[in-house]
Amino acid sequence: MIASLTSPSAYRRFAGEKPSRTAAYTALLALIFVAALSVAIKIRLTPLFDETFSWLKTSMPAITFSAGKVTSTALTPTRVEHPRAKEVAVMIDTERTDPVTSAQMTEAKVLAYLTGNALYMERDGRLEVFDLAKSSSGKAVTIDAQSYGEMERIFNWVFYPVVLLLFFVIFCVSLCFFGAIYGLVGMLVASLTGAELGFGALFRLAIHAQSASVLLRSLDALSPVRIPLAGALSLVLSVTYLTLGIRAAARPETAPAPTAPEA
């Protein structure tokens, strides 16, 4: 990676490298970004997730679903709101069985309303009703603090690996996609500079030319404030490195000077 950033002459070697090495380098760039992203998620999102599960475990009353009926440990209508996101709030009133209207939910300032036989949710200005009385399961299911603790453990084991793997795949595809775009741009640059490079060689150069851009995006992910014009800077860096790389790859290697014969 250091050669991709500091040595334009190395692009002559990159133009002829094996596809497997280009694929491995693409994976390396994706890993660098995903590593920065994982740190950013740990710093910015993990406290919110931890706070949310703590809120569920300490504030949400235990709820039991059995044979189409809902009961809870809350003996009176209880409104529970998220400590940080105040707009995230639910009303639990399992003693109630009459329908809830949209106006009542607006008045209560809740996104969801749980009664003894239904769950009401406000989505995009529409009131959706889930009739729990139609549940045919006779087995009682209780959701309490222990259940939320289990959810938190599963979430931590599944969410982070899945998200990071997903971003790794997406970033690899993104690098290849932009590599193809830059490769097409490189064909124009090559024609203007007289470089005889095929699209395959230009694609490989374009992958390496995105190294500085990947570092910039990684820093942007880690930075507490967004880097101004990071997208435009990434584009400029990639095109600049690609242009320098094409010129270096097209330049013939200088042969070593012949040694003078000894007298």
Show me where the domains of the chain are located: 2-45+154-250, 63-143
Neighbours of 12 (CB within 10 A): 18
Q: Are 15 and 255 in contact (CB under 8 A)?
A: no
The C-alpha atoms of residue 153 and residue 144 are separated, in whole angstroms, by 15
Q: Are 190 and 60 in contact (CB under 8 A)?
A: no
The C-alpha atoms of residue 64 and residue 73 are separated, in whole angstroms, by 9
The C-alpha atoms of residue 239 and residue 185 are separated, in whole angstroms, by 9
The C-alpha atoms of residue 83 and residue 85 are separated, in whole angstroms, by 6
State the pLDDT at residue 251. Answer: 65
State the pLDDT at residue 263. Answer: 43
Taking the CA atoms of 152, 158, 161 and 162 in sequence, report the sign of the dihedral they define.
negative
User: What phi and psi, each to the nearest 5 degrees, are found at residue 139?
Assistant: -85, 130
The C-alpha atoms of residue 48 and residue 53 are separated, in whole angstroms, by 9
The C-alpha atoms of residue 115 and residue 120 are separated, in whole angstroms, by 8
Q: Which pair of structure tokens corresponds to residue 232? A: 């435009």
pTM score > 0.85 for this model? no
Task: Characterize the bridge pairing of strands 112-115 and 89-93.
Answer: parallel
State the pLDDT at residue 159. Answer: 86
What value does the CA radius of gyration of the chain take, rounded to a whole number of Å? 29
**201-221 in b/e burial notation, b at 16+ Cβ within 10 A?**
bbbbbbbbbbbbbbbbbbebb
Q: Starting at the edge strand that comes first in sequence, how are the strands of the sheet with 69-72 ordered?
A: 69-72, 63-66, 141-143
User: What phi and psi, each to the nearest 5 degrees, are found at residue 184?
Assistant: -65, -40
Q: Which residues lie across from 69 on neighbouring strands?
A: 66
State the pLDDT at residue 30. Answer: 95
Q: Which pair of structure tokens corresponds to residue 205? A: 């150069």
Per residue of the chain (263 residues), give pLDDT as tens. 788 888 888 888 888 889 999 999 999 999 999 999 999 988 888 888 888 898 888 888 999 888 778 888 888 889 998 888 888 889 999 999 899 988 888 888 999 999 988 899 988 778 889 888 776 666 788 888 999 999 999 988 888 889 899 999 999 999 999 999 999 988 888 887 777 788 898 999 999 999 999 999 999 988 888 888 888 999 999 999 998 888 887 765 554 445 555 54
